[in-house]
Structure formats: C-alpha cells, structure tokens
Amino acid sequence: MEERSVPCRVAGKDYPMALTLRATKTITERFGELEALGDKLRTAPFGEQLDMVLWLLSLLMAEGCAQENFLHPEQPQLTPPTQEILELFFTPGDLVGLRDVIFRCMTVGLGREVQTEDDGKNPEAGQETASSMPG
C-alpha cells in the first residue's frame, strides 16, 4: 500500500483507505467541516455513529482501492467491500478501533495532525488496532 493510504483489515484481508480530494468533497457535503467530524463520530447516538463509520469506511476504502488499481494495473484489481459486507464482519465492539483507523487515514491524507479527544476507550499501547482486527 502506498504511503498516502492506511490499511483496514476486513475478513482477513487488508484494504487501503485514502482521503482523496473527491472523498473530502463528499465528506464535507454530508457532514460539514472535517474538523467537526470527530465530534460527530463521538457524540451522535450509537446507531448514527455506526452508520457514519460504515459510510466513511466504505468511501475511504473505495478511494484507496481506486488508487491502488490505477497505480498497479498489472496486479489483480481490488474491489472494496460494500457497506453490507462491513456490517457482516465488524461488531459493535469494533467501533472505537474503526474510528481510530478513520482518523489515521484522515491524518495521512491531510498531511497534518487531526485533533481528536481521548474518550478513554482507545486501545492501550501494544493492543491490536483496527488494521489488525478480526474479520
């Protein structure tokens, strides 16, 4: 995977996630400013958080796979998992790790630090992260 993408493991396979200009435009049309996205992902009702995370993962993986397919046409083409597949392989307990991988992707895509608040639920050092989650 390229240095501008972040991996997310789904069903035992890593998929690249990338914050592109197209993804940024789509996200801001739906949520407003990127800086407010972190708050929305933490303060929305749980069901809405799940919907937001699944939508964001789907979008960012689609962009990452499109980049990989363009950069490496000689390799088998990546097909990103659909939202329905993500719903099948992730559990509610994965929410914090999934938010973390989204924030890492945004940090890499923006080339700067994205302000997030520690909600006390982040994995401790040495624990597995979203990129190595079961599935």
- Cβ-based neighbours of 72, under 8 Å, separated by 6 or more: none
Contact 81, 17 (CB under 8 A): no
pLDDT confidence tier of residue 115, bands split at 50, 70 and 90: low
What is the rounded average pLDDT for all residues in the chain?
A: 84
pLDDT above 80: residue 89: yes
pLDDT confidence tier of residue 116, bands split at 50, 70 and 90: low
Other Cβ atoms closer than 10 A to 80 = 23
Mean pLDDT value across residues 68-84? 95
Lowest mean pLDDT among 35-39, 57-61, 69-73, 116-120: 116-120
d(CA 60, CA 101): 10
Stated length of the chain: 135
pLDDT above 70: residue 29: yes
d(CA 17, CA 2): 10
Greater pLDDT, 43 or 62: 62
Q: pTM of the full predicted structure? A: 0.79
State the SS3 of the chain.
CCCCCEEEEECCEEEEECCCHHHHHHHHHHHCCHHHHHHHHHHCCHHHHHHHHHHHHHHHHHHHHHHHHHHCCCCCCCCCCCHHHHHHHCCHHHHHHHHHHHHHHHHHHHCCCCCCCCCCCCCCCCCCCHHHCCC
pLDDT of residue 55: 96
